[in-house]
Structure 1
Amino acid sequence: MLYARTEQRAWLASVDAYLAGKHDAPPRPELPNGSACAWLRSEGHQRYCNHPAFQEVERQYQRVHALVRELRDFQSAGRHEAVESRLAEFRTARDVLLTQMKQPSRAPLDRIPVELRRAICDGCGLQ
């Protein structure tokens, strides 16, 4: 998770620099097999599945990436005012995501008794 969070932070920093006009070229799209995305789909899901903190990370990850796509499209189309008006929204969403990505690692489900873990993960079938 630490590697995924570090990679996500670096990618989001490159997005911020592009949106702020510090780089001319847009950042590469995050790859579907990048650390954060892969972690959310595999290890993260297996370890945390229905844990509320993990669900929040997933939702915030989707929000941030949808916002990045929208703002990147605005920037590419020369709609700089639209980007500028929502840059604070992007930065807040980014900060929330990176903070949330710390939370699951503080209380991993593998430290929870097996009976409780089964109850938590019952909905997804993973344990």
Structure 2
Amino acid sequence: MFTELSPMKVVAIAIVAIFVFGPDKLPEFIRNATGVLRRVRAFADSAKHDLRSELGPEFKDFEFEDLHPKTFVRKHVLDGDGLAGVEEIRNAFDPRPELEEITAAVRDTADGGGRAPGAVSLTKEAQATPSTRHVFDPDAT
């Protein structure tokens, strides 16, 4: 609850409290504030106890902290060591297996294994022989 309070902030609050309430009435104010906090905690604890007793034995393990959204998700969606059901969904949308199949098919075709009729070769063809090549004169252009 007070995790964001640094020591400097606590000192500043204490100085402001001394100025507001005065050094004579500050101890009395602190006693009254702690008494109010104790009564509020006791009231909350008794309300939790009454609610658990009214819900019956099937809700004996009910914790009010489980109603917090983060705790609820952690308890009902996470299975301790991982997500329940999310892994199957993630695998269903994963394109890697299909891409591996396509890559394997392209490699087989490129290697010449089982070339389909009309398929285009992905390998370099042998260089044309010098006799069939056109003569090119670099100085003529």
TM-score (normalised: structure 2): 0.25
Larger Rg: 2
Name the structure where helix makes up a greater proportion of residues. 1
Q: Using CA pairs below 8 Å that are at least 6 residues apart, which structure has the higher relative contact order?
A: 1
TM-score (normalised: structure 1): 0.27
